[in-house]
Structure 1
């Protein structure tokens, strides 16, 4: 079957108007076709759900890590990515994911649920309901404390972990500045040294945490243990914070709430938060063999990116796609990816989001936006620096999950 004529796009992924609200631009591109060549980034971009899903699931499209240049200077950053499962394909990916998944699924998510509730209650007890930053005072500290506890990293290091994570993930944006690169190198160096020290301590004295499980398994090198721990912290922290902030702002702007306060009803709303304003907007793959996506032939060695935010607003899949509907069901979004690289931490992220959103809405039931949210000004990882809210504080009622 011959491929369709290739179209190109001049979409500027760093333009302020696009970064502020990419969805009208993505809709215009989708109307012209599901795939386009993007000369500025040197890769193909997808604009609908079907094409993005194909990119994520086709095994001929892999995650092929290539060290960033200059390699010697960026070695601390490269080391953390070269040895993590997300940047490798089978059989290495299969080996690492099996070992990390086995450790991750050893009851750690449910073990942490009471702790999430405790942290949520404690954080909200410290805010002023007349006006508080739900990102800085609630959504941001909660997941990093949870991930630190999951891994076995001292809670006192939580502020450092948050800073390191934010510095590293800025490298994923389009054309990071010299200052961003330097900060990422410093963060990767300090981050790796901290996790390496914890890993060595757990090898000598195992505890009930994920790093102990990773070390105990014996199938991962020390570099792979460090890279896996950093991946889980970065992915878990950034996704949870940005999904919460983006989704809550969208929900409050729309003037809607979950249809009820049961865990299932809050979970349905969380899925819409994941879909409506995706925290991760772009996930790239490299063709290891010739492959067609939506009729467009992608040559070996070429990159193609699934634009997840565009996929999650595809009107062919989602009725009234540009409207936040807290009761949307079904909701086949691609916020956690698909295929072999489907987000390993999705169960933990979903649990955190359901518990933290439910507790917030029960504690501050008449929550409203008190100011215009302040965006981070990034596209690949989309989120807010600050979301100021206000409301009347009450004693939260018991959720279905607490009964």
Structure 2
């Protein structure tokens, strides 16, 4: 079976035809990736929920070269399994449950509106503007910074750290980018240690304060667990939201009837957010490791073997989604797997949904005649799917 080359520019530009060709088999072996991949929605969902397939962290090596990167992942909620995962999620959800998403909601909408105002000014002045650096990239950075209590003057540090660290999740990463990821991880660890220490003496209304203080029956997060949680929120919240906004606006510009539909009926915005996550998934592949010998859809997966869900393929499965290659901002139900499934379902999903909705609402209100000014440039990575540029203008 012809699968795909994750470095092929044609595949990066549009991976979905390749997924269509593969989907006749629920799981297939991918020689280039060196693992079995789940292709259908049913198989991806089963993989994500199967407790014999867990998130088992394996240190990047050599250990001396990736000390900070490994520290972040050894202590991460995402890279742990019960009983540790149960403990971490209980403590983190307890801190999140103190109303942070609702507290930030009006602030996020005002922030998105101010950024779109700036975008409109740049378009009026220059004739066009890149939506990514004006809206899609800074919005989640500011929101995560506000959530964590990072001082405004320091928030410019966050996106470069995140961008460098997540490169480690791609396949065949060059040595210089791996070294940059470790430097970014070390700088972020040092910064968050300092920020957490400051909250001990001067509590605020932010999530770091609540993570420092959260306790259940005397159990608390360790300092390393707190730091890993902060970094996870940045990387997951920033990368996913940037790319949902970027990929989603591009899709709406290329499917004009759906943009016009949202203009006519803004009550569809929350439903449209789910469709944008599905239609061009910001996270295309998510790995698991077999904690015991397991058979899934007739495929034997030995203990210790890695297997991955092709989330982008699951999102276009015609057995689950009618006309899956069609963007439908009113699609319901929409059981996409963009936020995961099972015990590792994204704890920050409500916040991410709110950010994307705020961006769409601001664009529809202030720039109803938005359109592409030139062909967007796509980033060359496969696992985290996003754009490098998104030039826009108005009619």
- Deviation of the 1:175 alpha carbon: 1.2
Q: Which residue of 1 aligns with 2:153?
A: 156
6, 30, 47: which one pairs with 1:13?
A: 6
Whole-Å Cα distance in 1 between the matches of residues 285 and 202 of structure 2?
40
Gaps in structure 1 of 5+ consecutive residues: 1-7, 393-403
Q: Which residue of 1 aligns with 2:60?
A: 68
1:67-109 Cα offsets, whole Å, 9 max, x none, are 0011111111111111000000011111111111111121000
Secondary structure, in 3 states, of the residue corresponding to 1:289?
A: coil
CA contact (8 A) 2:284 2:311 kept: yes
Structure 2 CA distance for partners of 1:292 and 1:21, relative to 1, 3 Å: same
| TM-score w.r.t. length of structure 2 | 0.95
| Corresponding residue of 2:253 | 252
Task: Provide the residue aligned with 1:384 in structure 2.
Answer: 387
Matching residue of 2:70: 78
Per the alignment, residue 343 of structure 2 pairs with 340
Contact 2:263–2:364 at 8 Å: present in 1 too?
no
Instruction: State the distance in 1 between where 2:27 and 2:296 align.
Output: 8
What pairs up with 1:132-211 in 2 under 5 angstroms?
132-211=129-208
Corresponding residue for 1:398? none
Q: How does 1:319-338 map to 2 (within 5 A)?
A: 319-338=322-341
Contact 1:43 1:303 in 2 (8 A): yes
CA contact (8 A) 1:243 1:279 kept: yes
Q: Aligned equivalents of 1:246 and 1:214: distance in 2?
A: 32
1:395 maps to none
4+ long deviations beyond 3 Å = 258-264
What displacement does 1:119 show?
1.1
Offset at residue 299 of structure 1 (A): 1.4
Deviation of 1:156 after TM superposition, in Å, equals: 1.6
Match of 1:239 in 2: 240
- Whether the 8 Å CA contact 1:287–1:303 is kept in 2: the answer is yes
Matched, 1:293 2:304: no
Equivalent residues, number? 384
Which residue in the other structure is 1:3 paired with? none
Report the secondary structure of 1:68's partner residue: coil
Partner of 2:228: 227
**Does the aligned pair in 2 maintain the 1:263–1:354 contact within 8 Å?**
no
Q: Is residue 76–residue 188 contact of structure 1 (8 Å, CA) maintained in 2?
A: yes
Which of 19, 25, 33 is residue 41 of structure 1 equivalent to?
Answer: 33
For 1:365 and 1:40, locate their aligned partners in 2 and report how far apart those are by CA, in whole Å: 44
Of the three residues 98, 107, 112, the one matched with 1:115 is 107
Aligned-partner Cα distance in 2 for 1:21–1:329 = 25
Aligned to 1:52: 44
Aligned equivalents of 2:43 and 2:12: distance in 1? 22
Contact 1:199 1:212 in 2 (8 A): yes
- 1:278 maps onto 2:281 in alignment: yes
Task: Describe the superposition over 1:181-227 as per-residue Cα deviations: whole angstroms up to 9, x where unpaired.
Answer: 01101100111111110000001211100000000115100000000
Partner of 2:15: 22
1:311 to 297, 305, 314: 314
Structure 2 residue matching 1:45: 3-state secondary structure = strand
1:125 paired residue number: 117
3-state DSSP of counterpart to 2:320: coil
Distance 1:45 1:227 in 2: 28
Report the Cα distance in structure 1 between the residues aligned to 2:192 and 2:47, rounded to whole angstroms. 33
CA drift at 1:29? 0.8
Shift of 1:292: 2.0
Task: Provide the alpha-carbon RMSD of the alignment.
Answer: 1.4
- Kindly indicate whether the alpha-carbon contact (under 8 Å) linking 2:94 and 2:214 is maintained by their aligned counterparts in 1: no
